[in-house]
Structures are given as structure tokens and as C-alpha cells.
Amino acid sequence: MRVATWNVNSIRARVDRVTDWLARADVDVLAMQETKCSDDKFPAMPFVELGYEVAYHGLNQWNGVAIASRVGLENVQLGFDNQPAWEAAAEARALAATCGGVRVWSLYVPNGRTVDSPHYAYKLEWLAALRDNAQKWLADDPQAQIALTGDWNIAPTDEDVWDIDFFAGSTHVTEKERAAFQAIVDAQFADVVRPFAPGPGVYTYWDYTQLRFPKRQGMRIDFILGSPAFAQRVGHAEIVREERKGKSPSDHAPVLVELN
């Protein structure tokens, strides 16, 4: 089974690119982030025509998450327990479904904006709540196959950014954010892609500005963190950098794992 995650940066603008890649890459399950559309505007039909079921959660033109699966789509869940809200408003940042026996989460972690912004505190609170839930899921079933996939908006190590000095004082690389990410790893959710695609210089995101992509000035902020039962099935993983090329790409590349 092939499971992938991709921040598509507007599914309506890129549905043809996404479905074309699904077919070419023979992907069974795709978690999507930043779909940027409300549920009534989600372009589900192109996925259905390819044989996928689709679950999506979008409230407006911001954020948004979705999961497309051709191996089943069961027990769909919007958000996790005690998921924080931003300024008392719910956001479409987390969606889960069981696909072929794997509990797949599509996660769009808050950006944080700046270290002195209330959004930064919200990001840390959001990650702490996710960690608490992840710990509980494994405590309830240590053999559960769980994949926490998505855009984490965190570069866990210095080698995950093209120039750490450039990001001095910025979000995504702060000690608190990295500690929040590590806390989920410590809860037995391993980065299952890095062993197959080690850095430095291996990124998942390149800003549209300043020719960041051809200059290879990127960030590694998209991850698949797997529970022990999921991680032991991973036989191959890759960051599909080629999908950042071409006409009107997302600013992120897909991240893919193949399960034995």
C-alpha cells in the first residue's frame, strides 16, 4: 500500500495535477492539506472517477484538509479531542480516516506567524493537544497502525532549512517548536521518511519568491510520523521533488511511503 501526503495549496487550482500524479504514482491513500475551499466547493468528482473515495473538511477559503483513498475510507473524524481553536473559531486543520487498516491523519499544523504572535502560542498548544491524543491512541491499542501526515510547519533540525542563519528569530526553527515536534516522536511516532531520504539539502517546500526552488533554497516541513506498527511496515519512502516543477505547481512536494 502506498500512502502519501501533500500540501496542495488550493485543490481547486491543482486538482488536475493532483489526480494526474495519483494515477502515475499508483498512490492508494493521499492526505491533502491547505485545500483552501469549503466542503460545498471541493472538486470530489475527479477523484471518484479514478476510483477514490474522498473525505474533506473545509470551512472557508483558508486551511482545509482532505483524504482520498481507494482502499477504504472508514470512521472519518473531523479534528481530535480538545483541539484548540483560533480566537474561538474552529479551523479545518485535522481529519482522520481508516484506510486499508491504517488510521491516516491529514494535519495542517498552524504556521505560528511570528514568535511574538498569539498564533505562535496557539501553534504550541495545538501540537501539545495532538501529542496528548497520540499518546492516548497508542495506550488504547499499542498495535494500532497510525500515520500522522501533513504539513507540520516545523523544520526539526538545522539541516532541514537551506540557511539556518536566514531563519534566525523566525518561526519553524525555534527551540519550542522543535521540542513540540520531538515530543510527538518521543510518543513513539517515528519520522519514517528520513531514513530513506536523509539530508542535508532534502526539502519538501520551496517559497515561490526569489527563485527558491531552482536555487535549492527550501525547507523540510512535511512529514509522515508513524506508530511502531506502521513504521515497521515501511519498505520505501521518498520526497517527490519533481512534482514541484512544471506549470502552476504547489509550493510543496508530495511525501510518499510504501508499506510492505
Q: Which residues are annotated as a binding site for Mg(2+)?
A: 7, 34, 151, 153, 251-252
Q: Is 151 a catalytic residue?
A: yes
Provide CB contacts within 8 A for 57, sequence distance 6+.
39, 64, 65, 66, 78, 79, 92, 94, 95
Max CA distance (Å), the chain: 47
Which segments within 42-93 are labelled E, that is strand?
A: 53-57, 65-69, 74-78
Beta-sheet strand order (sheet of 234-239): 53-57, 65-69, 29-33, 2-7, 255-259, 234-239
Q: Is 57 a catalytic residue?
A: no
Beta bridge partners of 259: 234
Beta bridge partners of 191: 225
Q: What is the DSSP string of 129-153?
A: HHHHHHHHHHHH-TT--EEEEEE--
From the list 108, 120, 122, 205, the catalytic residue is: 108
User: For 39-163, where are the alpha helices, taking DSSP H only?
Assistant: 45-49, 118-140
Q: Is 205 a catalytic residue?
A: no
From the list 28, 151, 160, 222, the catalytic residue is: 151
Where in the sequence numbering do the catalytic residues fall? 108, 151, 252
